Structure 1
Amino acid sequence: MRGLLLISALLFAAGTTQAATSTPETQTLDRIVNATIARYHLPGIAVGVIENGKVVYTRTAGETVAGSGEKITPRTLFKIASNSKAMTTALLGRLVDQGKLRWDDPVTKYLPQFQMHDPWVTANMRVADLLTHSSGLPEGGGDLMLWPEPNAFTRADIIHALRYIEPGYSFRSQYQYDNLLYVVAGEVAAAAGGAPYETLMRREVFEPLGLGRCQVGSWSRDSVGNVAQPHYRHDGRNVPMHEDGATIPAITSAPAGGIRCDLADMLVWARNWLVPTPAQLQWLSWPQRATLQAPHMLIPVSTQRRQWDNTHVMAYGYGWRMADIDGAWAVWHTGTLGGMYSMLALLPDRQSGFVFMINGEAEDARTVLGEVLMKHFTAPQERRGVAWYADALDEQAKQRPASASAPDTSTRQPAGSAELAAFTGIYRDPWLGEAAVCPRGGQVRFAAKKSPRLAGTVMRLGSRYFVHWDDNGVDPAAWMDFRTTGDGPTTLRMAKLDPQGDFSSDYEDLRFERVRDCP
């Protein structure tokens, strides 16, 4: 184990030495990164590029906290968000290699309490089915039990709640991205491996690969040090949001998106897939590596991807996406988590790839930078740069119909307690639990019992109501539609104000019923 750590460290050191030399290629990459930073006013970024198995470029810029003076370095920790999924599947692959788990084992073998909405699906759900986003769960279904953090939902709560989430399509019939089943996969790993998920991740992934800075579970911010904080854009500046306290708590969502790593470790992680050493092949066998990055569920190819990348087929493996891009086979994943964005992309046949992490609002920045870095390998003759792709995204946004955009809320007014008197009360959803819609100071407040950041004031916009969240980091706002029918209970349905809002804000899956009066 110590030998593998030393090998990884030496390989990374060799790559950074090479990257330190200015060449036409590194100058080109600098221009790409600089243009992205300037176009999107990023607070901080860390970028690494691998070519023919060697790290040929690293670049960091900006600050861990805007205005702090603490510079981003290759050892700055970022939330890698859904790039955690590939680490979770690698952990499962380790357990398969060790004979403790089989991909086609039923989930109930390890978690007898596991139930989906459909009993047949429960009985036939394999470990592999947890990983391919084809379970029948609607896109982002149940994600409000994971985010916004912190909240009081446990992994046991999630496993119990799955039986109440109505399917959006039939089992194994299509791709719809979800996070909850990766949390379940983490609990399968814990049951098969005989230790908590966090313990297994450190023991079976971080330590053998020498990922000495990667963190999962609870840890000390000050002891570890050099931790990037998320930001949002407000009035033309980057504003820190939900900065870490002295102790980083363990989070329920860790198997789906709760790991933090730095650039140095992410490059070691990436090279493990591109040019594994003999020791790394002992860590995870070729058969398991091939299984993780093989196509298991087809993903529809978007018009944009066809036009930009000449893509014909796209699929999901176990914690990885994959597609043909300009005739090259690419394997990648992205990560999004409250003011932090990441991307890790591999071109296995070329032993090349890249990784970057950003600590700010950067959805378009990630798309653009990922596209231009990919073209650096797959279409180097192409002259479209950051500005071209950024302009194309801006034009797409302008062309969206009004119905596909968030309404203007500038005329909103707080809803009076008198006008909503018939609808105030304590409501309950089968999986999110209780939420209060109760008067306070002449207004009406919404507050979810187990998710304290889901709290805000009920507003009137025209003839409709919505909840405006107190916390700027909770986005988007949510429509509130109350209904009373005959002698039945009053119900509350919710939906995103912005149809383009993050699918993890799955208000549409809530089924609130009024259960009692406000206290």
Structure 2
Amino acid sequence: MRRFIRSTFCASALMLLGSMAHASAPDTSSPAEYDRLVDAVVARYHLPGIAVGVIDDGKVVYTRAEGKLASGKPMDADTLFGIASNSKAMTSTVLARLVENGKLRWDDPVTKYLPSFRMYDPWVTANMQVGDLLVHHSGLPEGAGDLMLWPTPNQFTPDDVVAGLRYLKPAYSFRAGYAYDNTLYIVAGQVAAAAGGAPYPTLLRREVFQPLGMNRCQIGTWNRDEVGNVADPYVLHDGHFVPVRADGPIVHPATMDAAGGVRCSLNDMLTWASNWLIPTQKQLAWLSPEQRRKEWTAYTPMPISARRHAWDGTLFLGYGYGWRIADVDGQMTVSHTGTLSGMYSAMTLLPFRRSGFVVLINADAEDARSVLIEVLTKQLTAPGKARSAASYAEELEHDAQQQRTSHVPDTSSRKKATPTELAGQLGVWRDPWFGEVQLCAQGDTVRFASLKSPLLTGQVMRVGDHYLVHWDRDEIEAWLRFPERAGGTLRMAKVDPDADFSSDYEDLAFTREHACK
């Protein structure tokens, strides 16, 4: 209860700061200056495609799309990109609509709608409320269970996610701290489906896309060829971007849809942003001021990085219902980013300036996104403090180089592991939430293969006295930590400890079931 009071107080203080800052809001950049920024970032990072839009004082003042589709046609403001975790605010809004329609309450227990829902701790199960699913204070470690969601495609279902949560051990007490998770947003989608009487994709189209006129956004099952104008993801391979086409002609629902599965165009995302910044009377009737305040209340305090404090002067950062709320240069911001393999997004809103921006990139481009977020934010909050895109980029590159040299172990001595040396470890192993994996001989090599996540297949390598899996696809490599005695537990861990938390190998605990066939 104390944390709720403190967080809402801080959010109120941010509103006061924002209203004061709005009175002296500076002029922002011209379209030509935005063009120069986009050109510089595209050139520096060799981006295959990007779309950027800016709203200032309630008006769209800039849109730009750059790049080509697989067909060779140019991208435009209607090109569909994966928005990844910017989907989370849409999931929370579906729930808010159901609250307004009397279908559920934010403080309802999750088990009211999903009787089979269980967390590791029975007390947490009994006390987990609908609102708790959205604010990253469950006690689970960061990214727990994400291997049920990624890499895609896989054979896990939302029901598998709900069933698997009971095996994920907490890292800290319920509501005692912040750790980002995706799996509970899958649960939120299932709660919405149970309360709303329709599958999550149907609810999202009915409750959000259609009322707001976000006509290009897609979720669930859709015909890619009929919809058209869809950006393909690009991933880095040997220092160059290469396209990855995961879709067939028909796109099917993904387990991760409620956490990060939406695809939208720049025009759609600007419509979404405008609904929050400058809602019409019709939009206020669609979602009341009370529910909008609920979504933008900071329920869980978040740690502030040294870089964020230095760049933005941030003193407060918290998580709401699918949104991050913070102060930047003394002004309130509401924002989120989205990160999928080959798809990066960002949306930042300054409510008291009625301003904001959207960035969509079809590539693994974390630094490019960070540079754009910082420069675009500064052009709205403090143009006099703005540094060049190159300046921010160089700082990020310097920091990344230091991190690479200090944390990543040297595995260059790796050699193929043989069936003979691992004879006592070969077999079929099972984790209670991830399911079955095979660790079996193939010729003079040993292969690791997941039954339900078929892209997690690779070759076992020996590095000194240790073993790792080098995946066939460009996934984050994992150490294999074999048990020292029969009947023990096989554990895994990221080779690069700072790699994406969604490769949550550390949450796996395999026991051997039987020999390889």
TM-score, with normalisation over the residues of structure 1? Answer: 0.93
Quick one: structure 1 residues 32 and 401, their matched pair in 2 at CA, closer, same or farther if it must change by over 3 Å? closer
Give the deviation of 1:438 after TM superposition.
0.4
**Matching of residues 116-265 of structure 1 within 5 Å:** 116-265=119-268
Quick one: structure 1 residues 484 and 283, their matched pair in 2 at CA, closer, same or farther if it must change by over 3 Å? same
| Partner in structure 2 of residue 397 of structure 1 | 400
Runs of 4+ residues deviating >4 angstroms: none
CA contact (8 A) 2:29 2:379 kept: no
Deviations 1:87-107 (A, max 9, x none): 000000000111111000000
CA contact (8 A) 1:117 1:163 kept: yes
Aligned partners of 2:386, 2:208: CA distance in 1, in Å?
40
CA contact (8 A) 1:83 1:333 kept: yes
Aligned partners of 2:421, 2:214: CA distance in 1, in Å?
57
Give the deviation of 1:210 after TM superposition.
0.6
Q: Is residue 428 from structure 1 mapped to residue 433 from structure 2 by the alignment?
A: no
| Partner in structure 1 of residue 476 of structure 2 | 476
**Matching of residues 270-349 of structure 1 within 5 Å:** 270-349=273-352
Secondary structure (helix, strand or coil) at the match of 2:395 reads: helix
Aligned partners of 1:134, 1:26: CA distance in 2, in Å?
41
Q: What code does the residue aligned with 2:41 have?
A: T
CA contact (8 A) 1:423 1:490 kept: no
Of 315-324 and 413-422, more deviation after overlay is shown by: 413-422
| Partner in structure 2 of residue 18 of structure 1 | none
Quick one: structure 1 residues 71 and 411, their matched pair in 2 at CA, closer, same or farther if it must change by over 3 Å? farther
User: What CA RMSD, in Å, does the superposition of the two structures yield over aligned residues?
Assistant: 1.2
| Partner in structure 2 of residue 34 of structure 1 | 39
Deviations 1:18-77 (A, max 9, x none): xxxxx9611111111111111111110000000001100001101234xx5222111110
Identical counterparts, % of pairs:
59
| Partner in structure 2 of residue 7 of structure 1 | none
| Partner in structure 2 of residue 352 of structure 1 | 355
Secondary structure (helix, strand or coil) at the match of 2:219 reads: coil
| Partner in structure 2 of residue 501 of structure 1 | 499
Aligned partners of 2:211, 2:386: CA distance in 1, in Å?
42
Deviations 1:262-305 (A, max 9, x none): 00100000000000001111110000001001111100111111
| Partner in structure 1 of residue 16 of structure 2 | none
Secondary structure (helix, strand or coil) at the match of 2:446 reads: strand
Q: What code does the residue aligned with 2:287 have?
A: L
Secondary structure (helix, strand or coil) at the match of 2:383 reads: coil
Q: What code does the residue aligned with 2:493 have?
A: A
Secondary structure (helix, strand or coil) at the match of 2:497 reads: coil
Secondary structure (helix, strand or coil) at the match of 1:45 reads: strand
Quick one: structure 1 residues 43 and 182, their matched pair in 2 at CA, closer, same or farther if it must change by over 3 Å? same
CA contact (8 A) 1:91 1:201 kept: yes
Quick one: structure 1 residues 388 and 102, their matched pair in 2 at CA, closer, same or farther if it must change by over 3 Å? same
Aligned partners of 1:240, 1:350: CA distance in 2, in Å?
38
Q: What code does the residue aligned with 2:443 have?
A: G
Q: What code does the residue aligned with 1:497 have?
A: V
Deviations 1:373-418 (A, max 9, x none): 100111101241111111111111233374522x343332211111
Give the deviation of 1:442 after TM superposition.
1.1
Aligned length: 490
Counterpart selection for 2:371 from 362, 368, 371: 368
Aligned partners of 1:492, 1:112: CA distance in 2, in Å?
32
Secondary structure (helix, strand or coil) at the match of 1:381 reads: helix
Aligned partners of 1:416, 1:440: CA distance in 2, in Å?
9
CA contact (8 A) 2:142 2:179 kept: yes
Aligned partners of 1:105, 1:188: CA distance in 2, in Å?
11
Q: What code does the residue aligned with 2:174 have?
A: F
Deviations 1:417-451 (A, max 9, x none): 11111111111111001100000011000001101
Secondary structure (helix, strand or coil) at the match of 2:385 reads: coil
Unaligned runs of 5+ in 1: 1-22
CA contact (8 A) 1:426 1:516 kept: yes
Aligned partners of 1:108, 1:233: CA distance in 2, in Å?
42
Secondary structure (helix, strand or coil) at the match of 2:74 reads: coil
CA contact (8 A) 2:375 2:386 kept: no
| Partner in structure 2 of residue 50 of structure 1 | 55
CA contact (8 A) 2:119 2:125 kept: yes
Give the deviation of 1:233 after TM superposition.
2.2
| Partner in structure 1 of residue 20 of structure 2 | none
Secondary structure (helix, strand or coil) at the match of 1:365 reads: helix
Secondary structure (helix, strand or coil) at the match of 1:384 reads: coil
CA contact (8 A) 2:148 2:161 kept: yes
